[in-house]
A and B are shown apart, each in its own frame.
Chain A
Amino acid sequence: MEYLGLSLALFGAALAAALSGIGSAIGIGVAGGSAAGVMTEDPNKFGSCLILQALPGTQGIYGLLIAFFVLNKLGLLGGAGAVALNWNQGLQIFAACLPIALVGWYSAIWQGRTSAASIQMISKKPEAMGKAIILPAMVETYAVLALLTSILMLMGIQVG
């Protein structure tokens, strides 16, 4: 039971990085499929397609950020050794990782789908690029809120 707290905290960090990373990979994959289809007919749309395809990638970065935050809090970065953590503290850190893990995972997939639709939109109306970016960016709002929630929760947890 000595390492249960640490294990729970690390599991949370792993989930934050992994789930949001998986979501981003799927989202970018979906948007990439759409971008490839549009660029087959019009290779000049590469720039616009790339911007829209990259949008679902941010959730993976947010997950990584939270994982670093947790590792730093646990003293696992810098070589000073892990801080002592009881199971209750470990569970708190695990819970703090959940918002970005779950919202990041799911929002990245849906942002990818919205990006794919936007890519199809600029295929027909290239002049609507601004609107095409705003639509998937709306999904991003909720990933940012989840990131903030995770950061605020982690900042409020006392360890060591």
Chain B
Amino acid sequence: MSYVYTVARLRGMENHILDSAFFTRLMDSASIDDALKMLGETSYSQYLNQDSNFDKAIDSEMLATFHELAQFVPDQELLTLFRIPYDFHNVKVLLKGLFKVRAGDLNGRRYDLLSKLASIDTNELTEAVETEEYGFLPYGLTDVIPQCVALWDQTKNAQAVELLLDHQMFKAMLALAEKLNVALVTKWVKLKIDAENLKAAIRLARLKYDSNHALPFFHEGGFLRPDDFAKLMNEPQETWSRILSHTDISKVLNALTEQQDLKVAFSDVSAAIDRYLLEVLESAKYSIEDPANVLLYILAKEAEARNVRVSLVCVSSGLDREFARRAVIA
């Protein structure tokens, strides 16, 4: 299957992606029943009928999208790139369960939190973690899971274990992108690492971390080094945009200079980062066969799923709709 076919088919599929006008109407729904009724007229309807839990319905729609794409995308690695985070999420869930059981909580395992969107079958992964047979696991999990177990045994520090897994996740994503040898895809992964580091920097600034303590939280592999982000910890947030002005990502930091409230600023910066990661890939739109179009479509679909989730949570729990509107990606 050629990318000319793939990209043309994606163009057709893009017509079914829900737009911002739909989300505005969805968020203005009087009740969750009205919102679900509105969603029932979209591609999510088949999963809403199967499952009253809208979270699972959203995941089912994403899984169906991955399965559909797998039928005609020439490089399956492009899809794997998006499924790796779910694999690492599942590893975290399984390890947390394992640690709780070891600590005496026999009900600590939470298999219900495992994501179906992962590329490794959840049953196989569960069996591998339970039996400590990691040999067949991809993405460096063979080595990193025993390291996590050893780290937990020594420190009982769950955050350190999560960090170790996150470092490995980005390493695996970058290795996969470089194997694909598509410049725009590699650039996107590197920027995603930078974006993740930037989000971590804002969170750590809220917690008043200094550069030494913050350094281990930043991932390698982006265009900026972990050191560059750690140095931001010693500076006021409103100057970050100026400090990073030589980088492409500085433009998303405008919210920091405008917003004094870091909680609100984090939400604005997160939305700006998501928009920026979409914009980076948009040059692929003008090509009839750029593989990065696959990423662009999945990102748009992920943004749609996220927007559906935000809108439904907002309606069901009566949250501030203005805050939700800001979190929704246009």
CB interface residues, A 108-133, toward B, < 8 Å: 113, 116-117, 119-120, 123-124
The answer to whether A30 and B12 touch (CB under 8 A), given A116-B288, A120-B288, is no
Q: Which residues of A contact B14 (CB under 8 A)?
A: 124
Stretch touching chain A among B3-11, B118-126, B134-142, B180-188: B3-11
Q: Which residues of B contact A30 (CB under 8 A)?
A: 4, 288
Q: How far is the CB of B29 from chain A (nearest CB, A)?
A: 28
Asked if A38 and B4 sit within 8 Å, CB to CB, the answer is no
Q: Which residues of A contact B2 (CB under 8 A)?
A: 33
Asked if A33 and B8 sit within 8 Å, CB to CB, the answer is yes
Chain A residue, CB-CB nearest to B293:
A120
Q: Does A2 contact B (CB under 8 A)?
A: no
Asked if A117 and B12 sit within 8 Å, CB to CB, the answer is no
Q: Does A59 contact B (CB under 8 A)?
A: no
A residues touching B (Cβ–Cβ < 8 Å)?
30, 33-38, 40-42, 113, 116-117, 119-120, 123-124
Q: Which residues of B contact A124 (CB under 8 A)?
A: 11, 14-15
Q: Does B113 contact A (CB under 8 A)?
A: no
Q: Does B103 contact A (CB under 8 A)?
A: no
CB interface residues, B 66-89, toward A, < 8 Å: 72
Q: Which residues of A contact B15 (CB under 8 A)?
A: 41-42, 123-124
Q: How far is the CB of A141 from chain B (nearest CB, A)?
A: 21
Q: A34-B8, A38-B8 are in contact. List 9 more A-B contacts (CB 8 A).
A: A33-B5, A34-B7, A35-B8, A37-B5, A37-B9, A37-B11, A41-B12, A41-B13, A120-B7
Chain A residue, CB-CB nearest to B2:
A33
16 inter-chain pairs at a CB distance below 8 angstroms, sorted by A residue, are A33-B2, A33-B4, A34-B7, A34-B8, A36-B5, A37-B4, A37-B9, A38-B9, A38-B12, A40-B12, A120-B8, A120-B11, A120-B288, A123-B12, A124-B11, A124-B14
Nearest first, the 3 A-B pairs at minimum CB distance are: A41-B12, A37-B8, A37-B9
Main SS at interface, chain A: helix
CB interface residues, B 132-152, toward A, < 8 Å: none
Please tell me which one of the listed residues A35, A37, A40, A41 contacts residue B7 in the complex, with CB atoms under 8 A apart.
A37
Asked if A34 and B288 sit within 8 Å, CB to CB, the answer is yes
Bitwise interface map of B from 167 to 178 toward A, beta carbon under 8 Å scored 1, else 0: 000000000000
Query: What is the bound-complex CA distance between A44 and B328, given in angstroms?
Result: 33
Interface centre among A34, A36, A37, A41 (most CB of B within 10 A): A37
Query: What is the bound-complex CA distance between A126 and B296, given in angstroms?
Result: 22
Q: Which residues of A contact B13 (CB under 8 A)?
A: 41
Query: What is the bound-complex CA distance between A88 and B315, given in angstroms?
Result: 85
Query: What is the bound-complex CA distance between A116 and B11, given in angstroms?
Result: 12
Query: What is the bound-complex CA distance between A42 and B15, given in angstroms?
Result: 10
Chain B residue, CB-CB nearest to A119:
B8
Q: Which residues of A contact B9 (CB under 8 A)?
A: 37-38, 40-41
Q: How far is the CB of B42 from chain A (nearest CB, A)?
A: 16
Q: How far is the CB of A110 from chain B (nearest CB, A)?
A: 12
Q: How far is the CB of A105 from chain B (nearest CB, A)?
A: 19
Chain B residue, CB-CB nearest to A49:
B8
Q: Which residues of A contact B7 (CB under 8 A)?
A: 34, 37, 120
Q: How far is the CB of A159 from chain B (nearest CB, A)?
A: 44
Q: How far is the CB of B216 from chain A (nearest CB, A)?
A: 46
Query: What is the bound-complex CA distance between A36 and B11, given in angstroms?
Result: 12
Asked if A113 and B8 sit within 8 Å, CB to CB, the answer is no
CB interface residues, B 1-59, toward A, < 8 Å: 2, 4-15
Chain B residue, CB-CB nearest to A41:
B12
